[in-house]
Structure 1
Amino acid sequence: MGKTVAFTSAAVNYLPKVRKLAASLRKHHPEFEIVLALADERPPGIDFSAEPLDRVIAVDDLPIPDRRRWIYFHTIVELATAIKPFVLCQLLSEPDVDRVLYFDPDMVVFSRLDDLLATLDSSNVVLTPHLTCPERTLEAVRDNEISALKHGVYNLGFLGVRRTPEGERFSRWWSERIYHFCIADVPAGLFTDQRWIDLVPAFFDGVGILKNARFNVATWNLTTRHVAGGLDAGFTVNGEPLGFYHFTGFDSGAHRAMFDKHGAGNPAVAELVAWYTHETRFDGEEPAAKVAWRYGRYSDGTPIPLEHRRLYRDRPDLQAAYPDPFDASGLLRWMTTQGPIEHPERFAKKALG
């Protein structure tokens, strides 16, 4: 059997989180190759070789058509998700790779994942649903089931693909869709890369659905999963070792708010949240965390508002006229002079990028 590659995707400023995920993977699966998909440029002064990573694949390394304009279309979160299928395709094309796993950078692995790998070995693609049990209260239905209907049945914080013809066909299909439609626009039925995966069990064969409660534990499923134990003895979920926990929304405070709402009475989850809080306490002080996203500003340093990105995406004539959208003397000048005249409805309220 060939090797298993585990990768995550982030900009440079998220490297402190990436390090925690990678260290946990290294601890429980030292046989994995660990890769960072970098939705950014490699900045001077950041030594990736000092991290628990085997290699870095930056967005500029990927064969993405019309790459610079395509990058401009996306916010930092959108770009970090948009490059995932392209990295997946590249990894699956390597002859010594048999399995590829994706983990969000705000995850931590707490035990070996041999049962997950066994499921992948009999599948082509494996997915983890946000929810595996119906909620029991209307409040939880609103918070979790309706949220899954809006954002996607499956959580794309994790994905596993085996190098089979069907696994490669899935990867190509996903990259084709994401190339055109990786934006956060819930009213339009899109949530970056995630909503597309709802179609996968219908479009592809050999799709494994990981319903084991120990995988992808997060605030959206705490109401139906019994987390017990602690750091010393180990955490369990419904009596089995915790596989991986998803600390989504941690920096924004959303994780804490939803934990307080749905898991505050659980001392094991409280210990998990306290542990991650302690582990991340100095993240913002690390040099990598202070590196500005390379694609967040025009060439003169002006921040790129979200509305600029959306308007440029919507107008092929602007794309043709300004092939380098980051050039402040070109597109930025048009956006600040002609843009408000042609699109007053878009510029009436400035959106942040």
Structure 2
Amino acid sequence: MKKNNPIQLHFCTSLGVSSLPKLLALYWSLLRHSANPFVFWVLCDGDEVYQLLFKLNLEHVRLVPLTEFEKTDVELYSVKRYRDVFEYNCTLRPCWMLYLLSCNSEIQFLTYMDTDLYFFSDPQYLYDQLDNCSVLLSEHRFSKLATRLGMTPKISGVFNAGWLAVKNDKIGHEALLWWRKRCLEWCRRFYEDGKFGEQKYLESMPELFQGAVALNRLGGNVAPWNVSDYLVSADEINRVYVDNEPLIFFHFHALQMEGEFSFKVVREVGKNVVQLTNPSYVLSGRQKQLIYKPYIAEMRRAIRLVRDIRFNKEEATIEEEAESPWNFKKMIIRTKAQLTRLRSIILYMTL
């Protein structure tokens, strides 16, 4: 699939209202960098997020209420009562993709994306391999630092479920049907008997389906769990590179920002008031400057926009969770996080 091929790209995701600022940042990054036309299918969990997106009237975005989608998949809806919100969202991922491919013959291939992704380059660079395969999977590629801190494919899986692309062909459908069946059987947020959420199943796909392969673009799915292995740089017009290859998209896992409603506010000493909620993630100054700073600026813009629309008839305030001056449980959690972060920094310095 050539880079300049004007094929229409199709993306999909699912979200509740708390993830709306992330969705907007992701959408704006696609508008900025995608040379090809695209359609972004959004599964809305709740009437509020549907109404907010409806008011925004974003070009290229097609909205589907979760309640309407659930009417088409009785098996999926039947497991909802046994899963928490996170587990159910993981369960519905292959169901949502299969539904879109089955109902829309114009989709040649479909990419699922978590809302906390953000593009720095044209997404078309990712799809050259789809000429000869049916499923593209993104590897975690855990860094040496992450490995020393205990992050391992043995638990989390070889592949990350935050980005994957499936061609609308026989093998693509078979792979999604198989994944859907596995997730309906078991999809929990913890590791058990070789399973972990919807994600661990993905590493069986290359063995079961000849057309399932790993993405070969280094700049795809760069994340805090692997970025420490790469040299991050920028050229004279601020295009970002990892090991001299264009950074295509970054997965901003475990990032919270002050002002995201429905999120417990996480504070960090410093004027940016942001931190990664996983204290094991350690970022260099260059990574923060070239990767995180642009995203944080975009997120602040998105938060303000959502706040203005959400509270257009009321004062635009966000109630933060008040912390008591003395809470032993919170103190223990905070202390453990600080110790973990200190350990990560020490290991980072010894690499």
Q: TM-score, with normalisation over the residues of structure 1?
A: 0.71
Answer with 275-284 or 72-81: which moved more. Answer: 275-284
Q: Does 1:224 align with 2:243?
A: no
CA positional deviation for 1:75: 2.3
Q: Does 1:83 align with 2:92?
A: yes
2:298 maps to which residue? 279
CA positional deviation for 1:43: 5.6
Summarize the Cα distance change of 1:53–1:19 in structure 2 as closer, same or farther, 3 Å threshold.
farther
Are 2:25 and 2:299, in contact at CA under 8 Å, matched by a contact in 1? no
1:164-203 correspondence to structure 2 within 5 Å: 164-203=169-208
Answer with 154-163 or 56-65: which moved more. Answer: 56-65
Structure 1's unaligned 5+ residue stretches are: 292-353
CA positional deviation for 1:289: 10
SS state of the match for residue 122, structure 2? coil
CA positional deviation for 1:59: 2.3
1:330-349 correspondence to structure 2 within 5 Å: none
Inter-partner Cα distance in structure 1 for 2:183 and 2:308:
28
SS state of the match for residue 280, structure 1? helix
CA positional deviation for 1:51: 3.2
Summarize the Cα distance change of 1:197–1:66 in structure 2 as closer, same or farther, 3 Å threshold.
closer
Are 2:52 and 2:310, in contact at CA under 8 Å, matched by a contact in 1? no
Q: Does 1:105 align with 2:112?
A: no
2:20 maps to which residue? 15
SS state of the match for residue 182, structure 1? coil
Summarize the Cα distance change of 1:232–1:78 in structure 2 as closer, same or farther, 3 Å threshold.
farther
1:257 to 279, 301, 305: 279
Are 1:39 and 1:79, in contact at CA under 8 Å, matched by a contact in 2? no
1:141 to 140, 147, 152: 147
CA positional deviation for 1:69: 4.4
2:64 to 57, 64, 73: 57
Summarize the Cα distance change of 1:43–1:211 in structure 2 as closer, same or farther, 3 Å threshold.
closer
Q: Which amino acid aligns with 2:141?
A: L
Inter-partner Cα distance in structure 2 for 1:222 and 1:24:
20
Q: Which amino acid aligns with 1:248?
A: H
CA positional deviation for 1:53: 4.6
Q: Which amino acid aligns with 1:176?
A: K
Are 1:89 and 1:171, in contact at CA under 8 Å, matched by a contact in 2? yes
> What fraction of aligned residue pairs are identical, expressed as a percent?
23
1:152-167 correspondence to structure 2 within 5 Å: 152-167=157-172
Are 2:118 and 2:295, in contact at CA under 8 Å, matched by a contact in 1? no
Are 1:5 and 1:101, in contact at CA under 8 Å, matched by a contact in 2? yes
Are 2:138 and 2:163, in contact at CA under 8 Å, matched by a contact in 1? yes
2:41 to 31, 35, 41: 35
2:101 maps to which residue? 92
SS state of the match for residue 18, structure 2? helix
Answer with 225-234 or 102-111: which moved more. Answer: 225-234
Are 1:123 and 1:207, in contact at CA under 8 Å, matched by a contact in 2? yes
Q: Deviations over 1:102-157 (max 9, x none)?
A: 1110000111133321112221100111007x73xxx542336x433211110111
CA positional deviation for 1:288: 9.5
Inter-partner Cα distance in structure 2 for 1:238 and 1:32:
29
CA positional deviation for 1:225: 1.7
Answer with 47-56 or 107-116: which moved more. Answer: 47-56
1:332 maps to which residue? none
Inter-partner Cα distance in structure 2 for 1:99 and 1:224:
31
CA positional deviation for 1:61: 2.5
CA positional deviation for 1:27: 2.3
Q: Which amino acid aligns with 1:91?
A: L
Inter-partner Cα distance in structure 2 for 1:236 and 1:58:
38
Inter-partner Cα distance in structure 1 for 2:19 and 2:199:
20
CA positional deviation for 1:185: 1.8
Q: Deviations over 1:31-65 (max 9, x none)?
A: 11111122334567524352355212232222221
CA positional deviation for 1:198: 1.2
1:70 maps to which residue? 79
What is the number of equivalent residue pairs in this alignment?
A: 283
Q: TM-score, with normalisation over the residues of structure 2?
A: 0.72
1:309 maps to which residue? none
SS state of the match for residue 245, structure 1? strand
Inter-partner Cα distance in structure 1 for 2:233 and 2:197:
33
Are 1:230 and 1:268, in contact at CA under 8 Å, matched by a contact in 2? no
2:239 maps to which residue? 234
Are 1:14 and 1:289, in contact at CA under 8 Å, matched by a contact in 2? no
1:114 to 124, 129, 151: 124
Summarize the Cα distance change of 1:255–1:279 in structure 2 as closer, same or farther, 3 Å threshold.
farther
Q: Deviations over 1:292-340 (max 9, x none)?
A: xxxxxxxxxxxxxxxxxxxxxxxxxxxxxxxxxxxxxxxxxxxxxxxxx
Summarize the Cα distance change of 1:278–1:50 in structure 2 as closer, same or farther, 3 Å threshold.
same
